[in-house]
């Protein structure tokens, strides 16, 4: 987990979050029908509402080329940033999360674990 977007970007320069808040907010990400994904993983007990983003550039649209990147969860593009998967097909990760339609972060992790297992 990284305490801020800047800390995440320093550690992941090839899959950055956009520096500007507006550009972060328009990324194609998963938001569980705009309710957000409930944080039941970090142990903070906050139950915070999170968004899942696919970096760099958001989840690819159907007519866009696939990219390999990182899947993260954050408080709507603000820190802290939790890395969920690295070096994965963003299209496959998007599809796995979308198919699972999770409302809790633990379920997002499960969907991404199944993707990693399928690639092995």
What string of pLDDT tens digits covers the 120 residues of the chain?
899 999 999 999 999 999 898 998 899 999 998 888 999 887 655 677 899 999 999 999 999 999 999 999 999 888 899 999 999 999 999 999 999 999 999 999 999 997 765 554
Global pTM reads 0.91
Residue 111: both structure tokens together: 């969907």
Tell me how far apart the alpha carbons of residues 5 and 17 are, in angstroms, rounded to a whole number: 7
pLDDT value at residue 104 = 94
Distances (CA, A) of 19 to 15, 16, 44, 47, 110: 12, 8, 26, 26, 29
């Amino acid at each position: 987990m990284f305490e801020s977007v800047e800390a995440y970007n320093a550690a992941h320069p090839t899959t950055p979050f956009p520096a500007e808040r507006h550009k972060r907010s328009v990324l194609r990400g998963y938001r569980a029908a705009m309710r957000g994904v409930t944080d039941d993983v970090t142990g903070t007990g906050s139950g915070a509402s999170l968004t899942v983003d696919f970096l760099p550039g958001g989840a690819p649209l159907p007519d866009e080329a696939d990219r390999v990147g990182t899947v993260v969860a954050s408080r709507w593009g603000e820190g802290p940033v939790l890395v969920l998967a690295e070096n994965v097909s963003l299209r496959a990760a998007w599809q796995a999360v979308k198919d699972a339609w999770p409302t809790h972060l633990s379920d997002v992790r499960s969907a991404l674990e199944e993707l990693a297992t399928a690639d092995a």
